[in-house]
């Protein structure tokens, strides 16, 4: 599908950028009127390119990705947290163009515009690929996010002129454009191969190659004639290319699995984590927007109901929303003997934790004198209620297991309005290993003595879970990804690639049986405000009723 529209109508999309709760207007023509000449000043300007995804990743993007997958079910407490259906719509595969969980495209397109302006200021058509490699890599990344979530996307490869028509190109063309930008950046020599504090959170050669692997593994999805026509049996011509770039990252020796699973997601994570290829830095005071605990923890965890110490052994001034409950299907995956990843699930009878070490104590957690006991299955006050109301009381709060993967600090809730300092990984070395295993299982040629089982068992070994003695199946790969990358950003993407996005989980099909067959929901609707600013665009199939 192609939609043509004048730049004057597209301006609202390009200029609107939302980070956390703040509207930021970007004056495209004046953003880089005088480009800095020193390396330090240049990097300061380039920071605008690096962190444009910080706001969406910290909240709204992950709402869409998590809740539409089999990881979380959103509930409401009486009338609290219904918010126009924003959360429950995603969880029931009932998203519509007015939902807040998709209202972040301005961040993406606004930062693409900054990438293009940076390229102009670095020489434009006369610039070498080496000099603009970072901008190319980031431009590819933002196009990937748009294309992965919304399908057809505008290919924004230059600063849009005042009278220029903008094209929303077919998804396959966008995928090819992303590939081209990444190959230009990788082959230019302009991306650093260093992995240290100075390159952390920035585009490196390894970040670009990891994104290319992700693109190639999903190539059959992105190049399908229609998102609803994709089947996991379709031929993927890029599998050997995916393996080749996995090998580049593996052979670099820059990354490993030496850090424990829990350590990687604590508030003090950062450039020292050897598993992180590319991560988004957050800080509760200076780089805000990451608020995962607010939605994933038990809602009243901050105290004991009478002002005393709460779940983490201290009294905090703010509670949580606590509306993202783990689906029973996801919870069941965390049952391997000895698996350290099991510890991220808050379930059954709760005990308190040490907020400094995040170690579980032997002290039962009581709220108003009652033992807090979480149920795996969710019981709505009214069966079939699409508002997902479990009741705003002790029984309602205890519906569903919770996730405590992302550790917090007391200051997050006492001083910084629930903002956390946990950096969020986007590409991990563990992902490279499992993507290589998957590509081989799907037909790629095995390389360097690696087999799907040997790659798979590297993951199992570092988390102290039982290793396999026979080759994993594709279902084994999907299940392992569900454990390893739980509450990150890839489960929706994985389920679509494996052809399981329409499967039953939680209460989705109980309340919305149409979700079994509505394959067009594999992409989200274009937000209403974007459609209003771009009146010649056509809404994604299924969402224009």
Report DSSP state, residue 311.
T
Q: Which of the listed ranges 30-34, 222-226, 529-533 does the model predict with the highest average pLDDT?
A: 222-226
| pLDDT confidence bin for 31, thresholds 50/70/90 | very low
- pLDDT(37) > 80: no
pLDDT value for 544: 85
pLDDT value for 105: 96
Instruction: Give a yes or no: residue 234 inside a domain.
Output: yes
Number of Cβ within 10 Å of residue 416's Cβ equals 18
Contact 23, 180 (CB under 8 A): no
Q: Over range 144-167, report the average pLDDT.
A: 92
Contact 88, 101 (CB under 8 A): no
% of the chain with per-residue pLDDT over 70? 92
pLDDT value for 545: 61
Contact 109, 14 (CB under 8 A): yes
Report DSSP state, residue 347.
-
Q: How far apart are CA 490 and CA 213, in angstroms?
A: 13
| pLDDT confidence bin for 5, thresholds 50/70/90 | very low
Instruction: Give a yes or no: residue 542 inside a domain.
Output: no
- pLDDT(497) > 70: yes
Instruction: Give a yes or no: residue 74 inside a domain.
Output: yes
Q: How far apart are CA 474 and CA 494, in angstroms?
A: 11
- pLDDT(48) > 70: yes
196, 202, 205, 209: CA torsion to nearest 10: 120
| pLDDT confidence bin for 47, thresholds 50/70/90 | confident
411, 415, 416, 420: CA torsion to nearest 10: 10
Instruction: Give a yes or no: residue 463 inside a domain.
Output: no
pLDDT value for 342: 99
pLDDT in tens, 329-378: 999 999 999 999 999 999 999 999 999 999 999 999 999 999 999 999 99
| pLDDT confidence bin for 38, thresholds 50/70/90 | low
Distances (CA, A) of 508 to 90, 220, 403: 10, 27, 20
Distances (CA, A) of 523 to 165, 254, 429, 516: 25, 35, 27, 15
- pLDDT(39) > 80: no
pLDDT in tens, 376-395: 999 999 999 999 999 999 99
- pLDDT(241) > 50: yes
- pLDDT(531) > 70: yes
Q: Over range 491-507, report the average pLDDT.
A: 99
Task: Say which residues have a Cβ less than 8 Å from residue 369's Cβ, sequence separation at least 6.
Answer: 305
pLDDT in tens, 406-416: 999 999 999 99
Host domain of residue 126 = 3-248+495-533
Instruction: Give a yes or no: residue 130 inside a domain.
Output: yes
Instruction: Give a yes or no: residue 268 inside a domain.
Output: no
Q: Over range 74-99, report the average pLDDT.
A: 98
Longest dimension (CA), the chain: 71
Task: Say which residues have a Cβ less than 8 Å from residue 372's Cβ, sequence separation at least 6.
Answer: 298, 311, 349, 350, 365, 366, 398
Looking at the structure of the chain, the number of domains it has is 1
**Residue 460, helix vs strand vs coil:** helix
- What is the DSSP pairing of strand 360-364 with strand 351-353? antiparallel
pLDDT in tens, 187-213: 999 999 999 999 999 999 999 999 999
Q: How far apart are CA 96 and CA 545, in angstroms?
A: 10
Number of Cβ within 10 Å of residue 473's Cβ equals 11
Contact 11, 533 (CB under 8 A): yes
Distances (CA, A) of 61 to 57, 66, 202, 290, 524: 5, 9, 20, 11, 11
Q: Taking each helix axis from N to C terminus, what angle separates 171-188 and 133-150, rounded to the nearest 10 degrees?
A: 160
pLDDT in tens, 271-307: 999 999 999 999 999 999 999 999 999 999 999 999 9
Q: How far apart are CA 255 and CA 252, in angstroms?
A: 8
Contacts 24+ apart (CB under 8 A), 82-88: 82/387, 82/389, 85/386, 85/387, 87/63, 87/323, 87/324, 88/386, 88/387, 88/388
174, 178, 183, 188: CA torsion to nearest 10: 120
Instruction: Give a yes or no: residue 166 inside a domain.
Output: yes
pLDDT value for 43: 78
Distances (CA, A) of 520 to 143, 223, 528, 539: 20, 15, 18, 12
- What is the DSSP pairing of strand 276-280 with strand 370-371? unpaired
| pLDDT confidence bin for 25, thresholds 50/70/90 | very low
Contacts 24+ apart (CB under 8 A), 177-182: 177/140, 177/143, 178/140, 178/143, 178/144, 178/147, 178/211, 178/215, 179/212, 179/215, 181/136, 181/137, 181/139, 181/140, 181/143, 182/136, 182/137, 182/140, 182/208, 182/209, 182/211, 182/212, 182/215
pLDDT value for 27: 39
Report DSSP state, residue 234.
S
Out of 36-45, 67-76, 98-107, which region has the weakest mean confidence (pLDDT)? 36-45
Residue count of the chain, please give it. 545
| pLDDT confidence bin for 40, thresholds 50/70/90 | confident
381-397 in b/e form (b: 16+ CB < 10 A) is beeeeebbbbbbeeebb
Domain containing residue 63: CATH number:
1.25.40.390
211-243 in b/e form (b: 16+ CB < 10 A) is bbbbbbbbbbbbbbeebeebeeeeebebbebbb
pLDDT value for 536: 87
Question: Please, which residues bridge with residue 3 across strands?
Answer: 168
pLDDT value for 2: 36
Predicted TM-score (pTM) of this structure: 0.94
């Amino acid at each position: 599908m192609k939609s043509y529209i004048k730049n004057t109508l597209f301006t609202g999309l390009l200029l609107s950028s939302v980070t956390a709760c703040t509207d930021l207007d970007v004056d495209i023509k004046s953003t880089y009127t005088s480009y800095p000449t020193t390396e330090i000043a240049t990097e300061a300007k380039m920071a605008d390119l690096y962190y444009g995804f910080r706001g969406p990743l910290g909240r709204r993007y992950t709402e869409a990705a998590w809740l539409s997958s089999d990881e979380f079910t959103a509930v409401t407490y009486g009338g609290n947290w219904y918010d126009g259906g924003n959360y429950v719509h995603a969880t029931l595969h009932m998203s519509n163009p007015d939902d807040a969980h998709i209202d972040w495209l301005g961040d993406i397109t606004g930062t693409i515009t900054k990438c293009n302006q940076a390229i102009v200021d670095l020489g434009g058509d006369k610039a070498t690929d080496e000099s603009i490699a970072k901008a190319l890599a980031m431009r590819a990344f933002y196009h990937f996010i748009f294309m992965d979530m919304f399908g057809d996307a505008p290919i924004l490869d230059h600063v849009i002129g005042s009278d220029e028509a903008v094209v929303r190109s077919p998804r396959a063309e966008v995928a090819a454009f992303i590939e081209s930008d990444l190959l230009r950046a990788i082959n230019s020599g302009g991306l650093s191969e260093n992995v240290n504090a100075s390159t952390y959170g920035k585009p490196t050669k390894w970040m670009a190659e990891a994104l290319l692997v992700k693109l190639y593994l999903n190539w059959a999805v992105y190049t399908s004639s229609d998102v609803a026509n994709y089947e996991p049996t379709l031929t993927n011509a890029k599998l050997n290319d995916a393996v080749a770039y996995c090998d580049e990252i593996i052979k670099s020796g820059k990354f490993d699995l030496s850090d424990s699973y829990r350590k990687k997601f604590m508030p003090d994570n950062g450039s020292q984590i050897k598993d992180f290829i590319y991560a988004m830095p957050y800080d509760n005071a200076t780089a805000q927007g990451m608020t995962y605990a607010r939605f994933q923890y038990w809602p009243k965890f901050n105290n004991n109901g009478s002002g005393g110490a709460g779940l983490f052994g201290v009294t905090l001034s703010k509670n949580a929303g606590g509306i993202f409950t783990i689906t029973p299907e996801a919870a069941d995956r965390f049952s391997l003997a000895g698996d350290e990843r099991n510890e991220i699930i808050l379930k059954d009878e709760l005990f308190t934790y040490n907020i400094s070490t995040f170690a579980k104590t032997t002290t039962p957690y009581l709220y108003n004198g009652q033992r807090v006991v979480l149920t795996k299955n969710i019981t709505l006050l009214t069966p079939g209620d699409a508002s997902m109301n479990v009741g705003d009381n002790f029984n309602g709060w205890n519906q569903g297991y919770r996730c405590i993967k992302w550790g917090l600090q007391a200051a997050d809730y006492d001083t910084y309005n629930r903002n956390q300092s946990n950096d969020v990984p986007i590409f991990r070395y563990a992902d490279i290993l499992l993507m290589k295993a998957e590509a081989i299982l799907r037909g790629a040629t095995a390389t360097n003595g690696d087999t799907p089982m040997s790659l798979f068992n590297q993951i199992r070994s570092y988390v102290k879970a039982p290793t396999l003695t026979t080759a994993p199946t594709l279902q084994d790969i999907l299940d392992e990804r569900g454990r390893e990358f739980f509450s990150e950003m890839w489960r929706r993407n994985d389920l679509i690639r494996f052809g399981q996005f329409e499967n039953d989980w939680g209460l989705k099909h109980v309340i919305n049986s149409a979700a079994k067959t509505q394959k067009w929901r594999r992409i989200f609707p274009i937000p209403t405000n974007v459609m209003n600013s771009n009146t010649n665009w056509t809404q994604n199939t299924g969402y224009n009723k």
